[in-house]
Structure 1
Amino acid sequence: MSQDFVLETQGLTKEFKGFTAVDNVNLQVQRGHIHALIGPNGAGKTTCFNLLTKFLTPTRGTILFNGKDITDTAPNQIARLGMVRSFQISAVFPHLSVLENVRIALQRKLGTSFHFWKSERTLNDLNDRAMELLTSVGLESYANTVTVEMPYGRKRALELATTLALEPELMLLDEPTQGMGHEDVDRVVELIKQVAVGRTILMVEHNLHVVSHLSDRITVLARGAVLAEGDYETVSANPQVREAYMGTAAEEDAA
């Protein structure tokens, strides 16, 4: 594996009782890039993500992170190595404040999440860093807001802050703009650009506007296999890709 690649898969395959959901996928995610994984419904994108973060076990193939074989590594160990996934459905504690959500993520990084006997003063020591993270995603004015009371787009920004609290080298973003209006989408696109500085991002994203504005490289999946790969101009000009994915998306947008 080249040092230029943070993440690489070799022949990654997942079969479910004779159905091949991910079919011999060879993926190379370059350090410092935003790499998008796209494709029509049922293409295998989420299954591929689940394999990378070890929520599923590959039938065959190898996963390398910074040159280390992590194919048989447990999910919690993957996160400790620096590969952290943000989930498709906002994964925050709705009845805690925004600040408390980030503070819990910071405790996880320190390994003190379950130290309930610690004094509140000890936890307050994390507040400065928590506020820095909230400021980085434009949520400093929401610090004391109960999370359930925030708009959906702001909750996704909070999820980015909690992910950043774990100091990931590689962030895996699963449909970061799903269910958002145009204003929230534009805001989250800018946030992803900001948090990508000095990091690598691999994302599953259905919104082609987002993909075109963010991605350095795109891998297109169809029926579990890699259909095409390249920058947006290259991929969007591919007739097979347009037929399998982009034409469908364009028709839906026009409807």
Structure 2
Amino acid sequence: MSDAILQTVGLTKEFRGFVAVNDVNLSIRRGTIHGLIGPNGAGKTTCFNLLTKFLQPTRGSIRYDGRDITGMKPAEVARLGLVRSFQISAVFPHLSVLENVRVALQRQRGGSFDFWRSDSLLRQYDARARELLEDVGLTAYAGLTAGELPYGRKRALEIATTLALDPVMMLLDEPTAGMTHDDVGRIVQLIRRVSAGRTVLLVEHNLTVVSGLCDFITVLARGSVLAEGDYATVARNPDVIAAYLGDEASTEAAHG
């Protein structure tokens, strides 16, 4: 696909004879929200780790924005604009919300983590940090320590710190995991807003989130691609229903 920003060919990862990801061919179109779903143990997180270079593949190749990144390190692909947020909220709990975003801005612009630097040097990042907090609805929380935030707001903060790295493509791992219904709705709206002008690859178990957000979906099962298409297509696929969606989704598909 000429408009693909991220592609894998024959991507495979084995752990002592166990094949966690098996000959996966992905093609993520630029400017879309692409969902990666599947049952527990399907290989989704391993696939994410391969794409963001926290793991090296046993076989296969990965191309991002026309460049072979198969042998690169995580920091190298992040500098190219391929940035991942993690399933477990990754914030500095004892720093303020504003300071968390400022740390990410320092990293993106080549600054160090020297928190004892002069206030004047650090304040150069404040205006942009406040813009990012406004983008994710956290302006009122800027002065709180991150550890005081409710869980859903912590995930919004993590997305703000991800945006501080100025990503071209964001990989979001279970962004609504463990959230209340209200928090889920807020994060869905946030993802939709920040995806403008970007590409998003999303691992998510909440099928309502997937159906509402994703332009295209890849279903993994036992490490292999089981099906691909829009939500309506994969939800009606009998192999997908049997492997992952179960009776509840079968009923949804029948009535959807």
**Shorter chain as normaliser: what TM range?**
over 0.9
Corresponding position of 2:57: 58
Contact 2:235 2:249 (8 Å CA) reproduced = no
Corresponding position of 1:188: 187
Corresponding position of 1:147: 146
Corresponding position of 2:19: 20
Provide closer, same or farther for how the CA distance between residues 221 and 35 of structure 1 changes in structure 2, counting only shifts above 3 A: same
Is 2:123 aligned against 1:110? no
Task: Report matched runs for 1:1-255 at 5 Å.
Answer: 2=2, 4-115=3-114, 118-247=117-246, 250=249
Q: Deviations over 1:82-129 (max 9, x none)?
A: 000000000000011000000000000111123456321111111110
Alignment RMSD? 1.4
Q: Deviations over 1:128-159 (max 9, x none)?
A: 10000000000000000111111000000000
Alignment partners' CA distance in 2, 1:163 and 1:57: 23
Which residues of structure 1 form unaligned runs of 5+? none
What TM-score results when the alignment is normalised by the length of structure 1?
Answer: 0.96
Alignment partners' CA distance in 2, 1:17 and 1:101: 39
Alignment partners' CA distance in 2, 1:249 and 1:103: 44
Alignment partners' CA distance in 2, 1:172 and 1:223: 21
Alignment partners' CA distance in 2, 1:209 and 1:98: 29
Matched position secondary structure for 1:162: helix
Contact 2:8 2:61 (8 Å CA) reproduced = yes
Matched position secondary structure for 2:26: strand
What is the aligned-residue identity percentage?
Answer: 67
Alignment partners' CA distance in 1, 2:188 and 2:227: 24
Count of aligned residue pairs for this structure pair: 251
Alignment partners' CA distance in 2, 1:34 and 1:90: 21
Alignment partners' CA distance in 2, 1:179 and 1:248: 23
Structure 2 counterpart of 1:112, one-letter code: G
Alignment partners' CA distance in 1, 2:214 and 2:248: 18
Matched position secondary structure for 1:79: helix
